[in-house]
Amino acid sequence: MNKAAITGIGGYVPDHVLSNKDLEKIVDTTDEWIISRTGIKERRILNDSKKATSYLAIKAAKNLIKKKKLNPESIDLVIVATITPDLPVAATAPYVASQIGAKNAFAYDLQAACSGFLYGMSSAVSYINSGRYKKVLLIGADKMSSIVDYKDRATCVIFGDGGGAVLFEKSKNNFGWEDEFFRSNGEERMALKIKAGGSLFPTSSESYNNGWHNIYQDGKTVFKYAVSEMSYVTEQIFKRNNLNNENVNFLVPHQANKRIIDATIKRINLSEEKVLMNISKYGNTTAATIPLLLHDYESKFKLGDSLVFSAFGGGFTWGSSYLTWAY
């Protein structure tokens, strides 16, 4: 049976650049602190209050459709991985599907924070492998600026806005999805969250006054888990697929913090030039980091290349996967 494979990529980031120097004027921080602690120099912001995550998702999807000369009516399913849906209820994906002309598709959102795109790849692959659907469009998009408190220096320096899209179809060769190793741990959900607006803490004047609608993270706890768990699952994928520095072409890691990525590559003994990075220019775009990496580096991939993905995010959610490039 032919494997499920990525057969197209699209991406989009807004034009507006928010640099570390700009942030120095807003909060008590420095360009030097942000670069040395995170690797981020600037991030993109969707600076238009009338435009939401769907705008980023639609732009990324249309970019893919144009590049691949894809008939949107042939898409069977649209999944949008996001933690910043346009509306709390009424999923973003059906709107995106309508706007891109995917009128024969069904569509839904997937929420697994920074692991959303990685988990979404597993869903897309399973649908394709089941034989029920032929074309699954997976989008990772987040307007993080809509949930960031620009008075909180611990979060506002990290996040940016963006969107990326990939198409999954059955491979025309022997390459495609090879393996995955995913985990989660809800015990630590309070370490990275938006506290209010859900059923545990419905919106109230208290929630509003306390800023519980913005993203909060206990950076140290998240960092500690991310370093040990992201490197562990990536190591498992390496071990059980006999992967090593010689036969892996690219590591595609979620872009949360360059130090987390450095710890992962140390554990799996991978040389730095094999690691795809764009954190310095986009920051952490949550569900969009991995498809944006694929978009930025697409021209480097060759048929049969080995790509290993890994991510860690709120929930906690994390995992690693392995695919061989099919075009």
User: Catalytic: 284?
Assistant: yes
Region near ligand UT7 per CB under 6 A, out of 11-19, 98-106, 150-158, 269-277: 150-158
**Contact with ligand UT7 (CB under 6 A) among 2, 17, 35, 37:** 37
User: Catalytic: 257?
Assistant: no
| Catalytic residue (one of 20, 156, 214, 254) | 254
- Going from the C-alpha of 155 to that of each of 18, 33, 145, 211, 283, the distances in angstroms are 14, 13, 10, 13, 11
Distance separating alpha carbons of residues 157 and 171, to the nearest angstrom: 40
Q: To 10 degrees, the CA torsion angle through 222, 224, 228, 233? A: 0
**Contact with ligand UT7 (CB under 6 A) among 51, 134, 153, 274:** 153
**Contact with ligand UT7 (CB under 6 A) among 17, 35, 154, 277:** 154
Distance separating alpha carbons of residues 158 and 177, to the nearest angstrom: 31
User: Catalytic: 114?
Assistant: yes
Enumerate residues 89-128 that contact ligand UT7 by CB under 6 A. Answer: 114
Could you list the beta-strand ranges (E) of the chain. 4-12, 16-19, 42-45, 77-81, 106-110, 136-143, 161-170, 177-184, 192-194, 215-217, 250-253, 306-313, 317-324
For ligand UT7, which is the closer residue by CB, 181 or 318? 318
When CB distances to ligand UT7 are compared, the closest residue is: 219
Question: Considering the rule CB under 6 A, would residue 327 count as an interface residue with ligand UT7?
Answer: no
CB of 201 to ligand UT7, least distance (A): 21
**Contact with ligand UT7 (CB under 6 A) among 63, 231, 264, 284:** 284
